[in-house]
Chain A
Amino acid sequence: MKSLKLIGLALGASLALSTAALAQDITIAVAGPMTGGESAFGRQMKNGAEQAVKDLNAAGGVIGKKLALDVEDDACDPKQARSVAEKIASAKIPFVAGHYCSSSSIPASEAYADGNVLQITPASTNPLFTERKLWNVARVCGRDDQQGLVAAAYIAKFYKGKNVAILNDKTTYGKGLADETKKALNKIGFTEKMFESYNKGDKDFTAIVSRMKRDNIDLVYVGGYHQESGLIVRQMRDQGLQTVLMAGDALADKEFASITGPAGEGTLFTFGPDPRNKPTAKAIVEKFKANNIDPEGYTLYTYAAMQVWSQAVAKAGTTDPKKVMEAIKAGSWDTVIGKMEFDAKGDIKQIDYVVYKWDAKGGYIEINPKGS
Chain B
Amino acid sequence: MDYFAQQLINGIVLGSIYGLIAIGYTMVYGIVGMINFAHGDIFMIGGFIALISFLILVSIGLTVVPVILLIVLLVSMAITALYGWTVERIAYRPLRHSFRLAPMLSAIGMSFVLTNYSQIAQGARVKPVPPIITGGYTLHEGSEGFVVRLSNVQIIVVITTVVLLAIFTWLVSRTRLGRDMRACEQDQTMAALLGVDVDRTISMTFVIGAALAAVAGMMYLLYYGLVDFFMGFVAGIKAFTAAVLGGIGSLPGAMLGGLLIGLIETLWSAYFSVEYKDVAAFSILIVVLIFLPTGLLGRPEVEKV
Q: How far is the CA of A39 from the CA of B229 in the complex (A)?
A: 13
Q: Which of A218-238 contact B (CB under 8 A)?
A: 227, 230-231, 234, 238
Q: Which of B14, B125, B145 contacts A40 (CB 8 A)?
A: B125
User: Is A259 engaged at the interface, CB distance under 8 Å to the other chain?
Assistant: yes
Please tell me if the beta carbons of A240 and B125 are within 8 angstroms of each other in the complex. Answer: no
Q: In which size bucket is the chain B interface?
A: 35 or more
Q: Which of A39, A199, A210, A262 contacts B125 (CB 8 A)?
A: A39
User: A206's closest neighbor in chain B, by CB?
Assistant: B10
Please tell me if the beta carbons of A207 and B124 are within 8 angstroms of each other in the complex. Answer: no
User: A201's closest neighbor in chain B, by CB?
Assistant: B234
Question: Could you list which residues of chain B lie within 8 angstroms of chain A, going by C-beta atoms?
Answer: 3, 6-7, 10-11, 13-14, 119, 124-126, 128, 130-131, 136, 138, 145-147, 149, 151, 153-154, 220, 224-226, 228, 230-231, 234, 265-267, 269-270, 273-275, 277-278
Number of A-B contacts (CB under 8 A): 98
CB distance from A128 to the nearest CB of B (A): 22
Please tell me if the beta carbons of A203 and B224 are within 8 angstroms of each other in the complex. Answer: yes
**Set of chain B residues within 8 Å of A230, measured between Cβ atoms:** 128
Q: How far is the CA of A198 from the CA of B136 in the complex (A)?
A: 26
**Set of chain B residues within 8 Å of A170, measured between Cβ atoms:** 275
CB distance from B133 to the nearest CB of A (A): 10
CB distance from B227 to the nearest CB of A (A): 10
**Set of chain A residues within 8 Å of B125, measured between Cβ atoms:** 35, 39-40, 255
**Set of chain B residues within 8 Å of A197, measured between Cβ atoms:** 273-275
Evaluate whether A238 and B153 lie within 8 angstroms (CB atoms) in the complex, with A211-B270, A258-B128, A259-B225 already known.
yes
CB distance from A77 to the nearest CB of B (A): 11
Evaluate whether A239 and B149 lie within 8 angstroms (CB atoms) in the complex, with A196-B274, A201-B234, A206-B13 already known.
yes
Please tell me if the beta carbons of B274 and A231 are within 8 angstroms of each other in the complex. Answer: no
User: Is A37 engaged at the interface, CB distance under 8 Å to the other chain?
Assistant: yes
Q: How far is the CA of A39 from the CA of B224 in the complex (A)?
A: 19
User: B266's closest neighbor in chain A, by CB?
Assistant: A207
Q: How far is the CA of A197 from the CA of B278 in the complex (A)?
A: 13
A-B contact pairs, 28 of them (CB 8 A): A35-B125, A37-B228, A39-B124, A39-B125, A39-B126, A40-B125, A75-B124, A170-B275, A196-B275, A203-B231, A206-B13, A207-B267, A208-B269, A208-B274, A210-B10, A213-B146, A216-B145, A230-B128, A231-B224, A231-B225, A234-B224, A238-B149, A239-B149, A240-B147, A258-B130, A259-B126, A259-B128, A261-B131
User: Is A187 engaged at the interface, CB distance under 8 Å to the other chain?
Assistant: no
Q: How far is the CA of A227 from the CA of B147 in the complex (A)?
A: 27
Q: How far is the CA of A312 from the CA of B60 in the complex (A)?
A: 54
CB distance from A192 to the nearest CB of B (A): 15
